[in-house]
Chain A
Amino acid sequence: MTENKQEFWRWSEYNWRDENKDWREGNIVTAGIDVGSVSSQAVICVDGELYAFNNVRTGSNSPDSARRALEGALKDTGMTRDDINFVVGTGYGRVNVPFADKAVTEIACHARGANFMAGNEVRTILDMGGQDCKAIHCDEKGKVTNFKMNDKCAAGTGRGMEVLADLLEVPVTEIGEMSFQVDEEPPPVSSTCVVFAKSESMALLKDGWPKSKVLAAYCAAMAQRVASLLESVGMQEKFFITGGIAKNRGVVERIEKILGVKAIQTKFDSQIAGALGAALFAKTLYEKRQAKGVA
């Protein structure tokens, strides 16, 4: 391996802020921090409206990742952590968010976030995260009514896609597009294990398959995997996808094809759904505590 080998799996960290809004004019400022297995997001809401967010890679230390995520969201806003009325932590590192007032599971947060992003008609949510995926049913308020998580296997997750990006030396953000550059859809690779799928992909490359065809086979396997998860809880429209893989049209469009359902498209970044849901819960929790006079 050369020393300056490019890391194709590495996606860029970024932040965003609503520049038309002045947070000082709002009443309640809340934050949601989603410390996931691969990425961490911080979302700041002002009066229940999205104001700023930041998306970073999760490091080995969850509290540090949470801090880093929030600092990025606060950048250039003039806001400090003390200006935030209530913080909810979520994600697998939810109990390790040092400044959180409460921890809520990412399942509840993704449903709440999806309800905000895609509207209250959303009933089925697929969260395709870094190391797991979840099929969630919710009601018109975004309250979870049923859910199912993948177990024993990380096929169908972001980490799997990163592994493949590195193997094929294709930037992870370009995988979706490239996977459609095939004459016809190849049969999917193994859909039960990331490592087996990687071995299988290596064998296909050795057989002379072009990268695009291997990617098509891999995206198809991933789509098949999560479609079966969705089918096991039942597909109720409307349907929305959250998490990093929602940005990969190679997987999304194949899921839609298998299920015969179109996922709702929105202007929002799918990766912040969990943190956004957490920030919205933070507002409700803050208001309830204020009403009780304990906040």
Chain B
Amino acid sequence: MPILIDLFLTFAKTGLFTFGGGYAMISLIENDCVEKKKWITDEEMMDLTVIAESTPGPIAINCATYVGYKKGRFPGAIIATIGMVFPSFIIIFLISMFFDRFLEIIWVANAFRGIKIAVGILIVDAAVKMLIKMKKKPIPIIIVVCSAAAMILISIFSINISSMVLMLAAAFTGIIVFIIESCAKKGEEKG
């Protein structure tokens, strides 16, 4: 199959099964683009997640553009992005035109309750996979625990703090640790 068609179909499929925001989609992209088609490596997937999360815009779009550009340059990026958007565009357009009380249809509501369970599982799955691949050093582990705890506290007490604050703090910590480590190394070399 020509790569552009493959990109379109793969991301249209991903778009069709992305529920509850970008995090559950990470599992889907991992399954297709890393495990099955081997378009990107594990490490690239991790970088991609970090880049998508720290740039504005829907995470799904960031991912589609990234993989599309890697496999098919500029046309690939456009096709993959359009593929990702296509199913939601059609579905939402139809709903907005024809279904006034879409969520009140009882079996639709029940199906969504079921899907919500799957979304929770897939998000935890994505995180656990990344956790397994992460280098087990003390500082990254501390950052994982602290940011997870902070997010849970933010949710429990519905505090109005964006996850961006946490991410800035983590990036800052990364730089400080790097500076301290390289100073320590220099000190050792001198001594």
| Physical interaction between A and B | no
Interface residues of B (CB under 8 A from A): none
